Amino acid sequence: MNVYEEIGVRTVINACGSVTRLGGAPISPGALAAFTGAAGAAVPLEELQAAASRILAGVTGAEAAIVTSGASSALTLGAAAILAGLDPGRMERLPETSGFPNEFIVAREQRNGYDHAVRAAGARLVEVGCNELVAGSGVRRTEPWEYEAAIGPNTAGVLYVHAADARPRLEEVAALARRKGLPVLVDAAAELPPKRNLTALIQAGADLVAFSGGKALRGPQSTGILCGKRRLVASALLQMLDMDDHPELWSPPRELIDRSEIAGMPRHGIGRGFKVSKEEIAALVAAVRAFQQGAYDEEVALYRPRLARLAKDLEGLPLSTRIVAPDDEEQFPVLQIATHDSGRDAMEICRRLRDGEPRIFVGHARLHEGYLVIHPLCLRETDFAEIARRIREETSGEPRSRGA
3-class SS at 296? Answer: coil
Q: Which residue is nearest to ligand PLP (CB)?
A: 70
Q: One symbol per residue from 8 to 47: x for binding ligand PLP (CB under 6 A), - otherwise; what is it? A: ------------x---------------------------
> What DSSP string runs through 154-190?
TEEEEEEE--TT-SS-HHHHHHHHHHTT--EEEE-TT
Among the listed residues 85, 224, 269, 333, the single contact to ligand PLP using CB under 6 A: 224
The C-alpha atoms of residue 293 and residue 248 are separated, in whole angstroms, by 42
Position 333 contacts ligand PLP (CB under 6 A): no
Among the listed residues 46, 103, 109, 187, the single contact to ligand PLP using CB under 6 A: 187
Nearest distance in Å: CB 400, ligand PLP = 35
Let me know how many helices (H) and strands (E) the chain has, helices first.
15, 12
Q: Is 338 exposed, middle or buried (0-12, 13-18, 19+ CB in 10 A)?
A: middle
The C-alpha atoms of residue 227 and residue 207 are separated, in whole angstroms, by 8
The H-assigned helical ranges of 39-142 are 45-60, 71-84, 88-93, 115-119, 132-135
Nearest distance in Å: CB 183, ligand PLP = 18
Position 277 contacts ligand PLP (CB under 6 A): no
Among the listed residues 190, 265, 308, 347, the single contact to ligand PLP using CB under 6 A: 190
The C-alpha atoms of residue 371 and residue 337 are separated, in whole angstroms, by 5
For the chain, the farthest-separated pair of C-alpha atoms sits apart, in whole angstroms, at 77
Nearer to ligand PLP (CB atom), residue 283 or residue 349:
283
321-to-76, 179, 318 alpha-carbon distances in Å:
40, 49, 10
Candidates 26-34, 64-72, 257-265, 367-375: pick the segment binding ligand PLP (CB under 6 A): 64-72
Candidates 45-53, 67-75, 97-105, 271-279: pick the segment binding ligand PLP (CB under 6 A): 67-75
Position 110 contacts ligand PLP (CB under 6 A): no
Nearest distance in Å: CB 86, ligand PLP = 25
Nearest distance in Å: CB 398, ligand PLP = 40
The C-alpha atoms of residue 243 and residue 246 are separated, in whole angstroms, by 9
Q: Apex CA 109: angle with CA 108 and CA 112, to 5°?
A: 85
Nearer to ligand PLP (CB atom), residue 190 or residue 308:
190
Nearest distance in Å: CB 76, ligand PLP = 10
Position 212 contacts ligand PLP (CB under 6 A): yes
Among the listed residues 114, 194, 359, 370, the single contact to ligand PLP using CB under 6 A: 114
Q: Is the dihedral of CA 29, 35, 39, 41 positive or negative?
A: positive
Nearer to ligand PLP (CB atom), residue 21 or residue 402:
21
Neighbours of 258 (CB within 10 A): 14
Residues that bind ligand PLP (CB under 6 A): 20, 70-72, 114, 187, 189-190, 212, 214, 224
